[in-house]
Amino acid sequence: MNTQELFISVDIEASGPIPGEYSMLSLGACVVGRPEQSFYMELKPDSPKHDPEALGVTGFHLDELSRTGLEPVDAMKKFSAWVADVGGSEKKPVLVGLNAPFDWSFVNYYFHKYVGENPFGFTALDIKAYYMGAFNLEWRQTKSSHMVENLQPRSASTHNALEDAQHQAELFALMLKRREEQG
């Protein structure tokens, strides 16, 4: 049986640079090519440690999320079920991200800590690296501003995890389309 890959754009907002010491505060995801097929959640912090600059970017307050966010175990179970639902049994989910190493590190850590396994496996596809390789660019040319200028998406980055996941999905879909057109 030939399994197809299902690209799922994922973006997270966190209270700092690394999982385990800092918390994932929100997660947004959507299917590449179908941005309306989306998922969003805000999580209770699992650590009080935070970087004030990171919180400033996200706009979240840890005390508020402690009251309103989902328990991490419930959040990751819901996300796992959503990934399984959109992919079905015949499609292999592939986490796609703009700076995928950062987002994947939190997603992977939370899946293993709270669910026991990561439905994406142990890899992720980084949009910056794909862009560099697919269009024979130098790393300095892979800034998101360069991508936006070159690909002309309709969406923009906002630091809302769902909106950013949808923006990333649009950028990646435009890259795949351009790559296909180039033969």
What token pair was written down for 158?
A: 């906002």
Which distant-in-sequence residues (6+ apart) come within 8 Å of 65 by Cβ?
A: 25, 42, 43, 44, 45
- Burial (0-12, 13-18, 19+ Cβ within 10 Å), 156: exposed
Give the closest residue to 30 by CA, choosing from 91, 95, 112, 99: 95
Q: Of the listed 50, 61, 146, 159, which one is catalytic? A: 159
Active site residue 159: yes
Give the closest residue to 83 by CA, choosing from 41, 131, 126: 41
Catalytic residue numbers read: 159
